[in-house]
Amino acid sequence: MASYLSRQALAGLRVVEIRGGLAASVAGRALTALGAAVSVVRLREQAERGEVEVGLAPGKQVVDASELDPRLAEADAVLLAGDYLDLRDAALLPAELRSRAPRAVLGYATPFGLTGPLREWRGGELVELHASGIARLLLGPVPDLDEFPPVKTYGDQGAFVGGLTLAAGVATALHGGGSHVVDVSIQEALASIAVHELARPALGETLTSRSGDATIGNATVMILPTTDGLVAVSPRETHQWDVWAEYMGSPAWALEPGMREVEKRQQRYTEVYPYLLAWSRQRTTDEIYRESQALHIPAFPLQPPGNLLGNEGLAERGFFIGAEAEGKPVTIPAHPFGLLDETPVPLASREKVDPAGLPLEGLRVLDFSWVIAGPTCTRFLAAMGADVIKVEAPKRPDPARVGALHPVLGQGKRSLALDLKAPEGRQIALDLVRRSDVLVENFAAGVMDRLGLGWEELAEVNPKLIYISLSGMGRKGPDAGMVAYGTLVQAFSGFSAVNGFPNRQPTIGWAWTDPVCALVMTTAVAAALRQRDRTGNGCRVDTSMVETMLWTLSAP
């Protein structure tokens, strides 16, 4: 039985990527990384997109425009991106394209979707980011609204979010059967990153203010200058703060009443920040990073992406690969799906079956995840028809239940409070595992294993189980034990360093990592289901937050 998701999970699928918007290239790379045969067709002369295109090229075959119709006739999926009007003028909208690709899932990523009053509006990175509302949240609060207006993200984040959404939708539609149209609005895909903000009006809350100073961080994620750089530290939980206070030498201010609670600590954050500053400026970044992690306090350097090219953990996991750009060797990220198995997967029948309902109807998902990334993935699965059961500890429920996250991410799910440390609770969990298809978890390394719910144990209970894990650095490798949150990964991966204003200290900003990882996880679920259909066995998926973020920054 293959342990991990296979590089050939989507083998046998024929995908045509019609060169246009970058989102289609992102989706094509995600599918070819999992074994699909992707043909890229250029219908007209188009400018090269430089380094980012090099990162999305591996595994694809570029063919002449004269081969388009023969490829469409045999295609299982077609990927298109760009402005609606350009697609219309090229006769590439579903009404015209369906007769040329009769069996294919037609996947579109356009600025504002194929339907609705805005569909003819022109887009682009700057337009889509601002139209979604995410641009105003990207960098966090600023001290002067006129001097620091909302900005776009570094690179092509809109295309990566739109492209990963397209890949997840197309892969799921292919699993469900039928010749569907997948219609992705990049505006909507980006807006969904702000799940907390979207829920505020319905809950009677005010929108997040842009006034403030995010350069110092907050009580949840502190940004501390050191002797040689910046470090982001997040002792957000009470027990973490207790250890952190002791690490700092137990200063009186850190032990005052109320400081143990993050909400109360936030009220005094600007008051106590100078004390933190005086302490951190006497230490190096690496010293605070390494010593904090040794104490199980989440901490990472805030650094540029290039610092990770020599990272031993990424090297051991095979994340970086060689490529060529303008005749010169370069290093690029491989893909965002973590460790992949080399075991070949049998080819499936190409007969199409028109499903009666949503593509994931009949699928049962056990959701052991919490906060944002995992629950976002399972929310997507529920929206596509899966029966999702959210499992929480009675004495330690999902922190997202306090605030606006759970009302959004908890939709369409059933829930169960289960004491997994009690024999009866564990037995109930095992009974559910026997009757489930997918398990999703994003706990710290070792937590599920200590509960007797790790991959090896559960594969014995249910050999058909698909086990999806997300962690900061991946479940395997020398850094697997690192304690991480998505916002800290933004600092470590370089995302924070490359976004912002010149000559201004970088900020953590909005929680970007988690929802992007959720799209990768959702795509992996669909690929794993196809693999299981052909092998009869489940598999594990080991996704890494830092690898996902680096992949979206993929310019060599």
DSSP conformation letters of 238-301: HHHHHHHHHHTT--GGGGSTTTTSHHHHHHTHHHHHHHHHHHHTTS-HHHHHHHHHHTT--EEE
pLDDT for res 135: 95
- Rounded Cα–Cα distance for residues 135 and 150 (Å): 6
**Could you tell me which residue, 514 or 556, shows the higher pLDDT?**
514
- Rounded Cα–Cα distance for residues 13 and 9 (Å): 10
Per the residue annotation, which of 83, 514, 533, 542 is the catalytic one? 514
- Rounded Cα–Cα distance for residues 128 and 318 (Å): 33
The CA–CA distances, whole Å, from 364 to 260, 371, 378, 402 equal 39, 21, 11, 26
Whether the Cβ atoms of residue 299 and residue 293 lie closer than 8 Å to each other: yes
pLDDT tens digits, one per residue of 423-435: 999 999 999 999 9
Terminal C-alpha separation, the chain: 36
CA dihedral angle for residue 137, residue 139, residue 144, residue 147, rounded to 10 degrees: -110
**Which segment of 4-13, 404-413, 458-467 scores lowest on mean pLDDT?**
404-413
- Rounded Cα–Cα distance for residues 189 and 187 (Å): 6
Q: Is the pLDDT of residue 2 over 60?
A: no
Handedness of CA 200, 205, 207, 212 (dihedral sign): negative
Measured at the alpha carbon of residue 314, what is the angle toward residues 3 and 33, in degrees to the nearest 5? 55
Give percent of the chain above pLDDT 70.
97
Amino acid sitting at position 218 = N
Amino acid sitting at position 476 = K
Give percent of the chain above pLDDT 90.
84
- Report the DSSP beta bridge partners of residue 79: 17, 107
The DSSP H or E segment spanning 198 is helix 195-199
Burial 176-205 (b: 16+ CB within 10 A, else e): beebbbbbbbbbbbbbbbbbbbebeeeeee
Name every residue whose Cβ is closer than 8 Å to that of residue 497 and which is 6 or more positions away in sequence. Answer: 302, 303, 304, 305, 491, 506
Q: Is the pLDDT of residue 47 over 60?
A: no
- Rounded Cα–Cα distance for residues 229 and 247 (Å): 20
Which tokens is 440 given? Answer: 């999703």
pLDDT tens digits, one per residue of 318-335: 999 999 888 889 999 999
Domains identified in the chain and CATH numbers: 14-195 (3.40.50.10540), 214-308 (3.30.1540.10), 334-348+358-552 (3.40.50.10540)
Is 514 among the residues known to form the active site? yes
- From 191, 189, 133, 188, select the one nearest 522 (Cα to Cα): 189
Helix ranges, 308-454 (H): 312-316, 373-383, 405-409, 423-434, 447-450
pLDDT tens digits, one per residue of 52-94: 888 899 999 999 999 999 999 999 999 999 999 999 999 999 9
- Rounded Cα–Cα distance for residues 222 and 214 (Å): 10
The per-type count for the chain, helices as H runs and strands as E runs, is: 23, 17
Name every residue whose Cβ is closer than 8 Å to that of residue 367 and which is 6 or more positions away in sequence. Answer: 374, 375, 378, 388, 389, 390, 391, 413, 440
What integer is the mean pLDDT of 181-191?
A: 98
Confidence band for 353, pLDDT divided at 50, 70 and 90: low
pLDDT for res 170: 98
Which tokens is 76 given? Answer: 């299982």
Torsions phi, psi of 466, nearest 5?
-100, 120
Q: Is the pLDDT of residue 556 over 50?
A: no
- Rounded Cα–Cα distance for residues 339 and 544 (Å): 9
Which tokens is 302 given? Answer: 């805030």
- Rounded Cα–Cα distance for residues 235 and 257 (Å): 17
- From 528, 522, 521, 527, select the one nearest 547 (Cα to Cα): 521
- Rounded Cα–Cα distance for residues 281 and 32 (Å): 47
Output the pTM of the full model.
0.96
The DSSP result for 25-91, as a single string, is HHHHHHHHHTT-EEEEE-SS-----THHHHHH-TTEEEE-GGGHHHHHHH-SEEEEES-HHHHHHTT
The CA–CA distances, whole Å, from 460 to 184, 371, 455, 464 equal 39, 29, 9, 9
- Rounded Cα–Cα distance for residues 128 and 222 (Å): 30
Q: Is the pLDDT of residue 522 over 90?
A: yes
CA dihedral angle for residue 518, residue 531, residue 57, residue 68, rounded to 10 degrees: -110
What integer is the mean pLDDT of 367-384?
A: 96
Q: Is the pLDDT of residue 355 over 90?
A: no
